[in-house]
Amino acid sequence: MLTINRLNVTLDTLTLAKDMSFSLLPGKVNVIIGPNGTGKSTLLKTLFGDIQAKSGDIRFQDQSLTSKKLSSWRKLFGYMPQDIRLDIELSVLEVVLLGQLDALSLRLDDSLIEQALSALDKIGLLHLANRSVNKLSGGQCQMILFAQALMRNPKILMLDEPVSALDLHFQHVLLDHLDEQTKQQGWVSLMVLHDLNLAAQYADNLLVLKNGQLVKSGNPKDILSPELIKDVYGVQAEISHDSHGLPFVRTIRKNPARTGMQVELSSSQPAKGIADAV
Ligand SMILES: Nc1ncnc2c1ncn2[C@@H]1O[C@H](COP(=O)(O)OP(=O)(O)OP(=O)(O)O)[C@@H](O)[C@H]1O
Ligand SMILES: [Mg+2]
């Protein structure tokens, strides 16, 4: 279990975690949601030891961040930060293998290469193994970094907006694989998502952050409500349920478009509807 107790994080004059306490269980997918700039990435960086907390305790089983050497604390983690660019001259296979850097010696073990190839195969990207990573698309890079994080076979897997560049198919490939591995391997998984519907579909536990505070946590079925969404995002929403009984969020536009507005297509005249709307 990963336990955060009375965590306070301040950067410059900003308070990004205010007396925050929660526990994350192994084998569960935990999803953080919350507005831009509210401290989600900062929280992940703090758990990883990139940012030092002002006070509080971060513990995994009997180990604590403050009492362990940072390098051995980090061995617990597979961590995929937000927005990483792969501007290096390495092949996809080499980048995935970097996930096992601690285990690599001068000679590459065949079994490690097989593991890396199998990780790529499982997410449908084996055909990219020999491609250079600096020539991949944004979504392909994101999937490769996911494979790298999995290669670490971590105790704690942290992913910061892992599907932000992915198409619908790969969003589900990544999240299904994450869910399956989390449950099979007993990982503590923690990821940040902005898409509330993906969060509702995949979170066993949803953590809602606002202004550096954990305002609500629990199963999405129990905690997602129009009131919560209005309070956290200032957006009006309706919640229905999909065929699995999972909450489905539909946001409602503040000023709906005027109905009946016709756009006339004409080569010589600007379209009347558009001119009216300007
Ligand atoms: N090293 C830093 N020094 C000072 N302020 C920082 C630093 N890193 C982040 N911040 C500020 O802290 C706030 C929270 O940033 P953070 O990246 O944690 O937000 P976030 O919730 O992940 O947002 P987003 O959804 O946009 O990714 C922002 O106002 C940001 O500008
Ligand atoms: Mg962020």
DSSP 7-71: EEEEETTEEEEEEEEEEE-TTEEEEEE--TTSSHHHHHHHHHTSS--SEEEEEETTEETTTS-HH
pLDDT at res. 99: 77
Split at pLDDT 50, 70, 90, the class of 101 is low
Instruction: Determine, yes or no, domain membership for 278.
Output: no
Please give the distance, rounded to the nearest whole angstrom, from the Cα atom of residue 112 to the centre of ligand 2.
Answer: 32
Mutate which of 10, 12, 41 for ligand 1? The one with the most ligand atoms within 8 Å of its CB, which is 41
Residue 250 resides in a domain: no
Confidence at residue 274, expressed as pLDDT on a 0 to 100 scale? 39
The β-bridge relationship of strands 63-64 and 77-80 is unpaired
Amino acid making up residue 224? L
pLDDT tens-digit map of 222-252: 999 999 999 999 999 999 999 999 999 999 9
CATH code of 154's domain: 3.40.50.300
Burial of 102 (0-12, 13-18, 19+ CB in 10 A): exposed
Tokens describing residue 22: 């929660």
* Ligand 1 atom 6: residue of nearest CA: 11
Does residue 266 belong to any structural domain of this protein? no
| Closest atom of ligand 1 to CA, residue 209 | 21
Share of the chain above pLDDT 70, in %: 89
Whether the pLDDT of residue 40 is over 60: the answer is yes
Atom 20 of ligand 1 has which residue's CA nearest to it?
A: 37
Asked if 155 contacts 182 with a C-beta cutoff of 8 angstroms, the reply is: no
Ligand 1, atom 27: closest residue by C-alpha:
36
Q: Indicate the pairing of strand 55-60 with strand 63-64.
A: antiparallel
**pLDDT tier at 275 (50, 70, 90 boundaries)?**
very low
Q: Report residue 204: phi and psi, to 5°.
A: -80, -30
176-220 residue pLDDT tens: 999 999 999 999 999 999 999 999 999 999 999 999 999 999 999
Is residue 167 included in any domain, yes or no?
A: yes
In a domain, 231, yes or no: no
* Domain presence at residue 237: no
Nearest to 128 by CA among 153, 148, 99, 157: 148
Secondary structure (DSSP) of 225-260: -HHHHHHHH---EEEEE-TTS-EEEEE--SSPPPTT
Q: Which of 12, 33, 38 is the pocket-test mutation for ligand 1 (most atoms within 8 Å of CB)?
A: 38
Judge whether 243 lies within some domain.
no
| 273: confidence class by pLDDT, cuts 50, 70, 90 | very low
- Which residues have any ligand 1 atom within 6 Å of their CB? 11-12, 14, 16, 34, 36-42, 82
Contact 137, 153 (CB under 8 A): no
Q: What is the pLDDT at residue 85?
A: 74
Total structural domains within the chain: 1
Residue 173 structural domain: 2-220
Residue bearing the CA closest to ligand 1, atom 9: 42
Residue 242 lies in a domain: no
pTM above 0.85, yes or no: yes
Ligand 1 atom with minimal separation from the 39 CA: 18
Kindly identify the ligand whose nearest atom is closest to the C-alpha of 34.
1
The answer, yes or no, to whether residue 96 has pLDDT greater than 80, is: yes
Q: d(Cα 50, Cα 146) in Å, to the nearest integer?
A: 20
107 C-alpha vs ligand 2 centroid, how far in Å? Answer: 37
Instruction: Give the DSSP per-residue string, 73-90.
Output: HHTTEEEE-SS----SS-
Residue 105 pLDDT class (50, 70, 90 cuts): low
> Once rounded to an integer, what is the mean pLDDT over residues 126-134?
93
